[in-house]
């Protein structure tokens, strides 16, 4: 072991000894030049922003165009989740399941110890305590991340309740999640402390039994901001399984009808499939309002009254920029007017940002995400397809006044959806909770730029959790069934639905206009909750009766409306065969309820 590291400053007086000792152990391994305990203050954040600008690792945007906002550019090899390098190191391989990469914990620890030894030499180690969920909420959970990336500190400060308040919640008997991150590129003497170096070797590793996260080599988003997907989904799915609640890749919204009744909805879509747009929906139907609670992750737990209650464990939005524009999501655009860090978008000549979809026409000249001159004639996009914005939730004009409620909000409906050009109808209701679990378990979507792989390729993404479950996927399905059984016993199980905004006609065009018109499907869902509208049977579930949704007002022809619900038995039987293969891949753990629902689907065809 190399020389002992000593603190350049003392740990906060309220830091529990378990945290202090753990930080000291990681420091001895990684050998940082100094250690900084982050307090989450505005002064600390501004100091770090100023230092990053001075070092050239952040570009300050025009304060008249975009006050207190910044642009970061990543290494071109470090622009998305690296699922191939993400591991669930459970004690038993079967607990990780066939959809996760597994390695024996002892072997992985040996590998990581070798990589992390001296990995922070020449850098600062930041100690970042945070709360997922409102500080002090019975639904919240705590964590501490150490990192050598200022970008990660800034992002965690936006995405969580980070700082002294969270640290104060950790006592001698408090469970908390330890998270270790290094960009894995030790600096040579005299080099500046930069934000965006990375290492060709990358690992994002989770130990479910000990609730630990270790990440090496990447500085991108969910690979490095470990409070997000790593904690809030992968580790939380294991904690929730043990404690009886659900960690879900879901947005949360509050919809209020013209009569003043409000409904809370949780909706699970794969990444880059419109979660943020739906969470910030501006309804096209007069008299309806939609308010935002969260756009990406929800934690759902049976409450004292028997209802399913949910919190948004995050405190900000880490949204995909391309496709977000004045015409598609004006609420998001208003949210980004100030105090935002953009990553891998283009820079305008007057010091603002731009990306594909922001405006109908592109500027005549830009600096693209790689720092090169760009014009509309350029062959490559100006912004990376997975470029991002990071902004605090409280800046969202549509944020609900209950978004930060420690008690959470009661869930009336759960929705699943993905990008499907064929087969799946615009909207369908599950017959019961068990059928809803089958909908979630067999969810499929076309691959997007947020993940590695071929764009447009259809992949199964059960519960929109394929890259994010810290357990065997079939165990995750059984856990949903178990929670539903508890809710059914009290008569408070939410209704479950499936939607598809992306069905195309034979000519390749979208059959449904989407965006604000999605409020018409949402209104039908709430009317089903109230029992105010009828539905008819289909192989997928219960679908709207004629006249239940005013599709003409949405600009949809009767021919397109019929096509949105058209059934192709040959195509659906082929998809059912594919589902057989997928379920077989899950092995013997597939719940009997899911098998039964699949056979019933075949019989309905």
Contact between 138 and 302 under an 8 Å Cβ cutoff? The reply is no
What is the C-alpha end-to-end distance of the chain, expressed in Å? Answer: 65
448 lies in some domain: yes
Q: In this predicted structure, what is the pLDDT of residue 121?
A: 93
Element at 118 (helix H, strand E): none
Residue 436 lies in a domain: yes
Q: Where are the alpha helices (DSSP H) in 361-425?
A: none
Query: Same domain for 175 and 40?
Result: yes
pLDDT in tens, 387-415: 999 999 999 999 999 999 999 999 999 99
597 and 450, same structural domain?
yes
Q: Which helix (H) or strand (E) holds 4?
A: none
- Please give the C-alpha separations between residue 208 and each of 87, 177, 240, 462, in angstroms, as whole numbers: 11, 10, 11, 20
For 441-510, give the secondary structure using H, E and C: HCCEEECCCCCCCCCCCEEECHHHCCCCCCCCHHHHHHHHHHHHHHHHHHCCCCEEEEECCCCECCCCCE
Query: Residues 586, 443: one domain?
Result: yes
Give the integer Cα–Cα distance in Å for 499 and 519: 12
Q: Is the pLDDT of residue 242 over 70?
A: yes
Give the CATH number, domain containing residue 343: 2.170.8.10
- How confident is residue 457, by pLDDT bands cut at 50, 70 and 90? low
Claim to verify: residue 120 and residue 217 sit in the same structural domain = yes
DSSP state of 257: -
DSSP codes of every residue in 13-38: TT--HHHHHHHHHHHHHH--SEEEE-
Is residue 8's pLDDT more than 60?
Answer: no
pLDDT digits (tens, 9 = 90+) for 115-137: 999 999 989 999 999 999 999 99
pTM: 0.94
> Looking at residues 458-471, what average pLDDT do you find?
93
Q: What is the mean pLDDT of residues 519-536?
A: 97
- Please tell me the chain's helix, strand, coil percentages from 3-state DSSP, rounded to the nearest 5: 30, 20, 50
Binding residues for substrate: 81, 220-222, 271, 386-388
Q: What is the mean pLDDT of residues 330-355?
A: 98
Task: Assign 192 a pLDDT band (cuts: 50, 70, 90).
Answer: very low
234 vs 122, higher pLDDT: 234
* Domain presence at residue 155: yes
Q: Is residue 66 part of a domain?
A: no
134 and 145 share one domain: yes
Interval 248-258 mean pLDDT: 98
* Binding annotation for GTP: 272-277, 388, 419, 515-518
Residue 327 shares a structural domain with residue 226: no
Which residues does the annotation place in the binding site for Mn(2+)?
229, 249, 296
The verdict on residue 64 lying in a domain is no
Which one has a higher pLDDT value, 154 or 221?
154
Q: Are residues 382 and 253 in the same domain?
A: no
Q: How far apart are CA 528 and CA 413, in angstroms?
A: 10
CA distance 451 to 454: 9
Which of 38, 89, 198, 273 does the annotation list as catalytic?
Answer: 273
Q: Which residue has the higher pLDDT, 16 or 1?
A: 16
pLDDT category, 10, cuts 50, 70, 90?
Answer: confident
Which of residues 379, 395, 411 is at a domain's end? 395
**74 within domain boundaries:** no
**Same domain? 427 vs 511:** yes
At 278, which helix (H) or strand (E)?
A: helix 275-279
Torsion of CA 541, 544, 545, 549, to 10 degrees: -170
Does the pLDDT at position 443 exceed 70? Answer: yes
Q: Name the DSSP letter for residue 588.
A: G
Residue 63 inside a domain? The answer is: no
Look at residue 2 in the predicted model and tell me its pLDDT: 46
What CA–CA distances, in Å, run from 549 to 263, 337, 527, 544? 18, 35, 11, 7
The pLDDT assigned to 9 comes to: 54
In the chain, the percentage of residues whose pLDDT exceeds 90 is: 88
Q: To the nearest whole number, what is the mean pLDDT of the chain?
A: 94
Task: Point out the annotated binding site.
Answer: 81, 220-222, 229, 249, 271-277, 296, 386-388, 419, 515-518
198 in active site:
no
Partners of residue 535 on adjacent β-strands = 544
Going by C-alpha positions, the residue among 418, 415, 416, 425 that lies closest to residue 511 is 425
CATH of the domain at 414: 3.90.228.20
Structural domain ending residue among the three candidates 217, 244, 271: 244
Tell me: the pLDDT tens digits for 127-163?
A: 999 999 999 999 999 999 999 999 999 999 999 999 9
Q: What is the pLDDT of residues 273-282, one digit of tens each?
A: 889 999 999 9
**Is residue 509 within 8 Å of 437, Cβ to Cβ?**
no
Residues 321 and 309 in one domain: no
User: DSSP labels for 145-198?
Assistant: EEES-HHHHHHHHHHSEESHHHHTT--TT--EEEEEEE---PPPTT----S---
CB 314 within 8 A of CB 415: no
What's the pLDDT at 418? 93
Q: Are residues 251 and 219 part of one domain?
A: no
Is it the case that residue 448 has pLDDT exceeding 60? no
Cα angle 419, 545, 549 (rounded to 5 degrees) comes to 60
The CATH number assigned to the domain holding 40 equals 3.40.449.10
Number of domains in the chain: 3
Q: Are residues 208 and 337 in the same domain?
A: no
Question: Quick one: 222 and 286 in the same domain?
Answer: no
Domain boundary among 395, 422, 448: 395
Mean pLDDT of 452-472: 82
Residue 239: domain span: 17-57+82-244
* Cα-based distances in Å from 81 to 128, 177, 271, 555: 22, 21, 11, 37
Whether residue 236 has pLDDT greater than 80: yes
Write out pLDDT tens, residues 553-585: 999 999 999 999 999 999 999 999 999 999 999
Is there a domain that residue 67 lies in?
no
């Amino acid at each position: 072991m190399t020389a002992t590291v000593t603190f350049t400053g003392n740990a906060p007086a309220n830091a529990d000894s378990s945290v202090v000792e753990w930080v000291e152990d990681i420091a001895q391994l990684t050998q940082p030049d100094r250690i900084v305990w982050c307090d989450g203050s505005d002064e600390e954040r501004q100091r770090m922003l100023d230092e990053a600008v001075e070092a050239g690792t952040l570009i300050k945007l025009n304060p008249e165009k975009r006050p207190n906002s910044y642009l970061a550019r990543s290494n071109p090899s470090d622009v998305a989740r690296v699922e191939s390098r993400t591991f669930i190191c459970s004690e038993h391989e079967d607990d990780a399941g066939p959809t996760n990469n597994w390695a024996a914990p002892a072997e992985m620890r040996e590998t990581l110890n070798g990589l992390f030894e001296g990995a922070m030499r020449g850098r600062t180690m930041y100690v970042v305590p945070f709360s997922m969920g409102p500080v002090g909420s019975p639904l919240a959970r705590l964590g501490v991340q150490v990192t050598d990336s200022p970008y990660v500190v800034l992002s965690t400060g936006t995405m969580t309740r980070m700082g002294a308040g969270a640290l104060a919640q950790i006592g001698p008997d408090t469970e908390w999640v330890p998270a270790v991150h290094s960009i894995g590129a030790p600096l040579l003497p005299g080099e500046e402390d930069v934000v965006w170096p990375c290492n060709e070797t990358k690992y994002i590793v989770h130990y479910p039994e000990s609730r630990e996260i270790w990440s090496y080599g990447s500085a991108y988003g969910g690979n490095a901001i470990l409070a997000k997907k790593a904690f809030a989904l992968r580790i939380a799915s294991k904690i929730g399984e043990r404690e009886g609640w659900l960690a879900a890749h879901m947005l949360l919204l509050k919809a209020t009808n013209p009569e003043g009744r409000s409904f809370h909805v949780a909706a699970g879509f794969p990444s880059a499939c419109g979660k943020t747009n739906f969470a910030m929906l501006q309804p096209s139907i007069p008299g309806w309002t939609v308010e935002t609670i969260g756009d990406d992750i929800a934690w759902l737990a049976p409450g004292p009254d028997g209802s399913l209650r949910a919190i948004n464990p995050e405190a900000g939005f880490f949204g995909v920029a391309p496709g977000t524009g004045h015409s598609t999501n004006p609420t998001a655009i208003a949210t980004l007017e100030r105090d935002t860090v953009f990553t891998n978008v283009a820079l305008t000549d007057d010091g603002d940002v731009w990306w594909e979809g922001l405006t109908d026409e592109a500027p005549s000249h830009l600096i693209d995400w790689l720092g090169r001159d760009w014009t509309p004639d350029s062959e490559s996009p100006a912004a990376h397809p997975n470029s991002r914005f990071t902004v605090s939730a409280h800046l969202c004009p549509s944020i609900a006044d209950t978004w930060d409620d420690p008690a959470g909000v009661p869930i009336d409906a759960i929705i699943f959806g993905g990008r499907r050009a064929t087969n799946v109808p615009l909207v369908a209701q599950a017959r019961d909770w068990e059928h809803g679990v089958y909908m979630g378990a067999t969810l499929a979507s076309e691959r997007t730029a947020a993940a590695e792989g071929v764009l447009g390729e259809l992949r199964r993404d059960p519960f929109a959790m394929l890259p994010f479950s810290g357990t065997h996927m079939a165990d995750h399905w059984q856990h949903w069934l178990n929670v539903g059984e508890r809710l059914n016993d009290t008569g408070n199980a939410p209704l479950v639905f499936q939607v598809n905004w992306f069905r195309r006609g034979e000519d390749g065009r979208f059959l449904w206009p989407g965006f604000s018109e999605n409020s018409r499907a949402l209104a039908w869902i709430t009317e089903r909750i109230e029992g105010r509208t009828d539905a008819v049977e289909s192989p997928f579930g219960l679908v709207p009766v004629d006249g239940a949704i005013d599709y003409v007002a949405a600009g949809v022809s009767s021919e397109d409306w019929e096509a949105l619900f058209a059934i192709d038995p040959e195509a659906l039987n082929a998809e059912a065969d594919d589902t057989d293969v997928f379920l077989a891949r899950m092995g013997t753990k597939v719940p009997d309820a899911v098998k039964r629902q699949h056979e019933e689907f075949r019989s309905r065809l």
